[in-house]
Structure 1
Amino acid sequence: MSAEGLAQAQQKMRDGGVTQAAIDVFTHYYGELEAGATGLIREGDIAPLREPAKLEDVDVDDDVAREALSKTAIIKLNGGLGTSMGMDRAKSLLPVRDGKSFLDLIAGQVRTARKATGAPLPLVLMNSFRTQEDSLRALGANPNIQVDGLPLDFLQNREPKLRVDDLTPVEWPPDPSLEWCPPGHGDIYTALLASGVLEQLLDEGFRYASASNSDNLGAVPDARIAGWFASSGAPYAAELCTRTAADRKGGHLAIRKSDGQLILRDTAQTDPGEMHYFTDEHHHPFFHTNNLWWDLEKLHAALTERGAVLGLPLIRNRKNVDPTDPESPEVYQIESAMGAAIEVFEGATAIAVGRDRFLPVKTTNDLLTLRSDAYRLADDGALRLDVEKAPLIDLDSRFYKTMGAFDARFPHGPPSLRHATSLTVRGDWTFGADVVVRGAVTLEDTGEASTVPDGTVLEG
């Protein structure tokens, strides 16, 4: 049935307008899935990465840095809908500070860096079909953001979800859109090539790219890192940060024992019985930020030589076709990670950077912190911690998980968190205006909707 299943999937992709390059990559992973590949990386096969280069120790010539940044493009992954936060449009359109969205702040970062350095810094989004229209409309409202000769975006591909029982494309008449899934952000390489954007960047004289997630407002254009990367001669580099107890879910780099190659291991590639190794921030002391640097010439050469199939490690995700219906058919989603390309390029490297370059928003807990006075909007457009240590936020997911519920319970904006070490909320609490949190505060569940009155000072 698998040969028939592959043929059905390929035809479905052709009928859906998917590029041949993306079909070829899907075919490669289908073969791996059929052969029983799980994508698991065993702890015994890797060694922890303990002493990467550190940006603070690197000597970068100012002229080299300026020259490298002048040849750098800024690429943002912008395909996420924020569904985990109850959203149905691009998460990057979510207001973060002073009514400005992620995209507004990113555009501001790029304009500020252009003014400060003279670098053209084209900004290009990798959108999905569901984020493209709204995102381009929002980005286009920012004056002079587009660079002549280059588009503002390219589209991520899509592929069929496969039935677990026979590896055929799943059919789901109640909502046919659920029959499709993105191939993971590892698709960025295929999409860059197939869209023609990679060649356009090269034709316009750009040699390097800085890629990151659109919900990470810490990844501002950085001449010093660009200069370090250009001077290294590496084809590819990843930014790392030191792990803390709060970073146990993020992927990490490791050294493959068989050949000494740097590789990326994500949660989905870790055996459940070995998860204690994965989550131990002392055993694997650096996490992967998903801020990447590419030599575009070397990336183009690798993609064209391999027919767009870089051969990134498979990530096999087992889910229900309708995530809200546990009785719906089980499916495999074949994915790959953008950061896994580090093992494809000989000479690929990594550098440890400051925590200020990693500020992702995955939950309303993260959003509350970034909206609060614990952070400030710096001159370069980055959000930067304005206190010694960010407070730990833990909001009751029953009442704060979605943006609608979250905003309803903070109608006057976030409380002051400058002097807070943690805020834990259990139950349904609505916060009044000018609330101040100091120390470690816990609000217990009263069993009914409760209110923190205006002007309250909560002290742990």
Structure 2
Amino acid sequence: MGSKGLELARAKMQQAGVDPVAVDTFAHYYRLLEHGETGMIPESTIEPHEMESLADVEVSDDVATEAIRHTAVIKLNGGLGTSMGMDRAKSLLCVRRGLSFLDIIARQVLHLRSQYDATLPLLFMNSFRTSADTMAALARYDDLPVDGLPLEFLQNKEPKLLAKGLLPASHPKDPDLEWCPPGHGDLYTALRGSGLLGRLIEAGYRYAFVSNSDNLGAVPDARVAGWFAASGAPFAIEAVRRTASDRKGGHFARRKQDGRIVLRESAQTLPEDLEALADLEVHRFTSTNNLWFDLQAMSDALDARQGVLGLPLIRNVKHLDPGDPSTPEVIQIETAMGAAIEVFEGARTIEVGRNRFVPVKTTNDLLVLRSDIYDLGRDFVLDQASDEVPYIELDGEFYKLVGDFDKRFPEGAPSLREADSLTVDGDFTFGRGVRVVGEVALESPSAQRVAPGTVLQGDGPADG
């Protein structure tokens, strides 16, 4: 018998119809949590990790084509965009020309199918909150589903645990708030539990390419598929050089004990190691969350572990109602899918261009994506039109939520191709055709309007 908290959590999950393997996986992490496991990775246990670059790799067209024809594409689509004030799938946000993330992803895949004469099935891992909206939005693409395979599978859910006592939290006013997703490391459990992993293997697919739906740079590129196939690796992650904006984010390293590649997230970093985490010269690469894995190797690893891959624990402390700090503190047990890299001997990383890593986590990112920094071609692939992506910092009081953000850019985003940075401190509404040149900082204690056609240059507006 387990502890009272674990027994109550198990019963709650079983009553809700959660997959038995997901319940066992939750129990594994509950016990770790109960015994004081924090998931921390001390700086003293790791060393910097270097890697080859895709730019230096030769991949023949034949190898690339063969690899992409045996690849399945999985998009993580469980996020609601709550940090930006959304209550539905973030991937429904409009990006360009009336097209959402979902529209562009669907069209990228359809174009690649035609280009390579590939089946290239597209599967979305939705949460119980994003499924209905997502499937309704994709219904217009009649040719997107592949015979014998679903367009979606659901990630699992687990109870939030009260920080005091580790009992399942209760919120009768909104029972949905009692549940949380187990982090994107649940991908492997959900693939196996849904039977989809086995179905993909039986249908003749060898590789999976996984990425976040809010990263439109993550196209299932045939050249990367060819590199992965030729490497013979069971698992690989695309990486990019860290920049100033990545200082607080995770990074790759090698574990001194066994030489395995590990992915250390900021939530797994001790307070005394935060300076080392932020050192871009020491830890130079961060994960794009673009993953490739051999389907059979993943199936074998899960079978050998009775379905529990054993990824490092991430202990995430939040409030029961994220929008109400008066509600009790809860612990959400999470894992990161990229952490599976340490499970597989012979796993690889490869440096790719920043154009394959265009995540939208804030409205700062959304402004860049909606601007002219990227061209959207007939293949629906983002093509970076400027040498560097400018640094954007919008006043959180006026721009953090999508609704407020949209009101302040009613005629569309300004041109950012000539911008180095744009910092907005205050309430500014932008007219049509505004251009930002160089390093621009706007500040005002009262609401302001930037007139149509204005060129913002240096410390203020310049004549167009």
Letter in 2 for 1:6: L
Letter in 1 for 2:32: E
Alignment of 1:22-421 (within 5 A): 22-49=22-49, 51-421=50-420
Give the deviation of 1:379 after TM superposition.
Answer: 3.8
1:28 is paired with a residue whose SS is helix
1:29-48 superposed Cα distances (whole Å, 9 cap, x missing partner): 01100110001000000001
2:454 aligns with one of 438, 441, 456? 456
Distance 2:245 2:167 in 1: 39
Give the deviation of 1:384 after TM superposition.
Answer: 2.1
Give the deviation of 1:11 after TM superposition.
Answer: 0.2
Give the deviation of 1:2 after TM superposition.
Answer: 6.7
Distance 2:354 2:248 in 1: 16
Listed as ranges, the gaps of 5+ residues in structure 2 are: 459-464
Give the deviation of 1:60 after TM superposition.
Answer: 1.6
1:200-226 superposed Cα distances (whole Å, 9 cap, x missing partner): 111111010000000000111211111
Letter in 1 for 2:355: D
Partner of 1:13: 13
* Alpha-carbon contact 1:74-1:210 (below 8 Å) kept: yes
Give the deviation of 1:428 after TM superposition.
Answer: 0.6
Percent of pairs identical after alignment?
Answer: 60
Per mean C-alpha deviation after superposition, the further-off stretch among 324-333 and 353-362 is 324-333
Per mean C-alpha deviation after superposition, the further-off stretch among 54-63 and 359-368 is 54-63
RMSD: 1.2
Give the deviation of 1:412 after TM superposition.
Answer: 0.4
Distance 2:429 2:18 in 1: 47
Distance 1:2 1:396 in 2: 48
Distance 1:261 1:141 in 2: 44
* Alpha-carbon contact 1:269-1:315 (below 8 Å) kept: yes
1:167 is paired with a residue whose SS is coil
Distance 1:13 1:173 in 2: 17
Distance 1:128 1:325 in 2: 22
How many residues of Structure 1 are paired with residues of Structure 2 in the alignment?
458
Letter in 1 for 2:264: R
Letter in 1 for 2:446: E
Distance 1:353 1:186 in 2: 22
1:31-86 superposed Cα distances (whole Å, 9 cap, x missing partner): 1001100010000000011x202111112222111111100001000000000110
Partner of 2:462: none
* Alpha-carbon contact 1:377-1:384 (below 8 Å) kept: yes
TM-score when scaled to structure 1? 0.98
Distance 2:216 2:82 in 1: 19
2:3 is paired with a residue whose SS is helix
Give the deviation of 1:327 after TM superposition.
Answer: 2.3
Partner of 2:461: none
2:315 is paired with a residue whose SS is strand
Distance 1:388 1:336 in 2: 35
1:307-333 superposed Cα distances (whole Å, 9 cap, x missing partner): 110000000011211122222111111
1:185 is paired with a residue whose SS is coil
Distance 1:271 1:363 in 2: 26
1:73-129 superposed Cα distances (whole Å, 9 cap, x missing partner): 010000000001100000001000111000100011101111111111100000001
* Alpha-carbon contact 1:375-1:383 (below 8 Å) kept: yes
* Alpha-carbon contact 1:370-1:383 (below 8 Å) kept: no
* Alpha-carbon contact 1:212-1:292 (below 8 Å) kept: yes
Letter in 1 for 2:4: E
Distance 1:302 1:376 in 2: 41
1:249-285 superposed Cα distances (whole Å, 9 cap, x missing partner): 3311110001101111001101122111111111100
Task: Give every structure 1 segment of 4 or more consecutive aligned residues whose post-TM-superposition deviation is greater than 3 Å.
Answer: none
Letter in 1 for 2:441: T
Distance 2:248 2:82 in 1: 19
Listed as ranges, the gaps of 5+ residues in structure 1 are: none
Distance 1:354 1:77 in 2: 21
Distance 1:384 1:269 in 2: 34
Distance 2:415 2:55 in 1: 32
* Alpha-carbon contact 1:2-1:167 (below 8 Å) kept: no
Give the deviation of 1:378 after TM superposition.
Answer: 2.9
2:398 is paired with a residue whose SS is helix
Letter in 1 for 2:201: L
2:325 is paired with a residue whose SS is coil
Letter in 2 for 1:39: G
1:323-371 superposed Cα distances (whole Å, 9 cap, x missing partner): 2222211111100000000011111111111111100001111111111
Per mean C-alpha deviation after superposition, the further-off stretch among 302-311 and 181-190 is 302-311
Give the deviation of 1:186 after TM superposition.
Answer: 0.1
Distance 1:164 1:416 in 2: 47
* Alpha-carbon contact 1:2-1:166 (below 8 Å) kept: no
Letter in 2 for 1:137: A
Letter in 2 for 1:65: A
Letter in 2 for 1:48: P
Distance 1:330 1:174 in 2: 17
| 2:7 corresponds to 1:4 | no
